[in-house]
Each structure stands twice: as structure tokens, then as C-alpha cells.
Amino acid sequence: MWKPYVSTIRSGPSNPFLGVFEGEVHTWDASTVGPEVEILRIGKGQRSYCTKYREALIGHKSIKCVATNDLDAETVAVLETLPCLEQLQLSHRRIPSSLNLAGLSSCRYVMLNDVRQLESLDIVANMPSLECLFVRGPKTLDLKALSTLNLRELAMWCFFPWTEMDPLFSNTKLEYLCLGGIKPAPEDCGRFRDLKHLEQIEFNSSSHPFDFYARMDSVLSKRVDRNWRLLVRLAEECSVHPGHPLLQASGSRQRPFCELCSPKRLEKLAVCYASLTGVPLPVPKVESEQFGMSNDGKNYRFFT
């Protein structure tokens, strides 16, 4: 089964989406580009790698991935001649606004990391084969170009108003969606129903209130995998009631609590959940244990 690229290939928590193909071969020698090279890395100050040795690169039949922290029109022109190029990783604060990658006809994955001064997604507009797009860094971003794409995976770690997200929902074939730094209003949750093929969705769990996740649970199909659980039991026990694990609700400003010490807090969560979904809040039981590991490294217990 085809698996989401950006969610399964990771290199660590600081750069979670900068994975490449299994069995990659690094080449830093600017004097030779062998016919068997599949992964090409162009480091800072090595732009001559694509200019001085252009004859060796143009039409190269094996290169599948190019990673660079510099990009200009000359480099794009060379990349457009690579028939097997599937992935482009770009990490640079400044990208010329005039650049467009639509000529990369076989490119399926584009990773734009640390592109802090990127103002729009016009650089990827009309890319015919693009399936996966990862963007991290911009504080503002014009998303109109998303309406020209037909993505299966989209991950954005940036900050901009939710009112500018309309083009996202034109990508109705999305299977994986990560909106790391985006804060949609709870009343806009219903728009996610338009994504009929969605299989996995992720948000920054500390950025949204509990009612947001309650609304999302009522909107999303049960088959959609999500990176939050509304209520879990931690391995940490209550100091007043030894042997009784604490509860932890999803959402910002939610601290662990004991329902025996704070019954009104649990009641408040239950009322909120029921009012939004029409069903009772599932409260984990103490006697049915299944251990897991949370994103912050704390042990917790899942209950079904």
C-alpha cells in the first residue's frame, strides 16, 4: 500500500521531513557526477556544480533526488532536463519570486525547508506530477497556487490567517495533511468534510483548545488517523489517591488532573464534548491498560 512520504521518512525532531530515498548515495565531489548517481547534494557555495559541469548533468538518466540550499534560474533549467527527478529538497531563506518549477515534469516531492522569506507558493504552481509538498518557515504565505495542484500529501509548518486557506480544500484527493502552525477557527472544522480521501491528519496539539479537537472528532471519519486523543491516562499517579493515574485532555492549557480530586473539571469537558458531538465523552478506565509513548516522551496509557 502506498504510504505517506512525509509522515514515514524522518531524520529527527528538528527536521522531521527531510528524509530521502533508502540507500541514498551522497556525492560532494564537484569534479565527477557518475552515471549511477541518484542523490545529488549541492551545498552552499557549490552552485558551480550545476554550471561548470552542466554537460555532465543535463539529461542525466539516474538522478532521482536533488537537495540544495541555493536555487536560481540556471539551476532550474538544468533540473528540467533530468527525466527521473522525483524529489527536490530546498533549504534557503531567500528564493527569487520569479522562479517556477512547473518544468520539472516528473517531480513528485518538493520539500521547502527554512524558506523564511518565501511570500507565495507560485514556485510550485502548475507542477504536473507533484503529489507531496512540505513547507516550513514562512510567517506569511500566499496559498493561491495550491488551487493549481492535485496533492495527495501536504505539510505546512508556518503561520498565516485561516481565511487564506481556501485553496487548500480544492485538493480533494489529499490523503495526508499536517497543519503544524496554523490555527483554524473551531467553526471552520466542517470544511474538512470536503477531503473525502483523507487518511491521516496532524495539528500542533498545544495550539488549539479542547473544543477544537472535539469538533474535529465529530467531523472526521473514524478511519482517519489523527495525532491526538481527546482524553488519555498518564503513567503519573495522583498524589492524593495513590495508584490512580491522572487524566490528560488534548488542547492548549490542559494540565493533567485527577477526576477524583477535580470532578467538575471532567464534567466540564464532558459537557463540552457532548454539546459538540452529541455523544458522551469516552473516559479511559483505570483497570484496562495498554501502554504507549507520547510525543514529549512521557509514558501514558491508552484505553478503548
Question: What are the per-10-residue average pLDDT scores of the chain (304 residues)?
Answer: 46 40 46 73 57 70 84 87 91 80 94 86 95 86 91 83 80 89 75 90 81 90 88 92 92 92 95 91 71 43 37
Cβ atoms of residues 89 and 68 within 8 Å: yes
Q: What is the pLDDT of residue 274?
A: 94
Q: Are strands 65-68 and 200-203 parallel, antiparallel or unpaired?
A: unpaired
DSSP 8: H
Which residue carries 489523527 as its cell? 226
Q: What is the pLDDT of residue 15?
A: 39
Q: Which amino acid is at 67?
A: A
94: three-class secondary structure by DSSP = coil
Task: Give the whole-angstrom CA distance, residue 139 versus residue 134.
Answer: 15
| Burial class, 85, CB count within 10 angstroms (exposed 0-12 / middle 13-18 / buried 19+) | buried
Dihedral sign from CA coordinates of 249, 253, 257, 259: negative
Q: What is the pLDDT of residue 137?
A: 82
Q: What is the pLDDT of residue 16?
A: 38
- Characterize 155-186 residue by residue with b for buried, 16 or more Cβ atoms within 10 angstroms of its Cβ, and e for exposed: bbbbebeeeebebbeebeebbbbbbbbbbbeb
Q: What is the pLDDT of residue 227?
A: 85
Q: What is the pLDDT of residue 19?
A: 42
Q: What is the pLDDT of residue 253?
A: 87
Q: What is the pLDDT of residue 24?
A: 46
Residue 11: how many CB atoms within 10 A of its CB?
11
For 106, residues 6+ apart whose C-beta sits below 8 A from its C-beta are: 82, 83, 84, 85, 86, 129
Q: What is the pLDDT of residue 7?
A: 52
DSSP 145: G
- Alpha-carbon Rg for the chain in angstroms: 23
Q: What is the pLDDT of residue 110?
A: 92
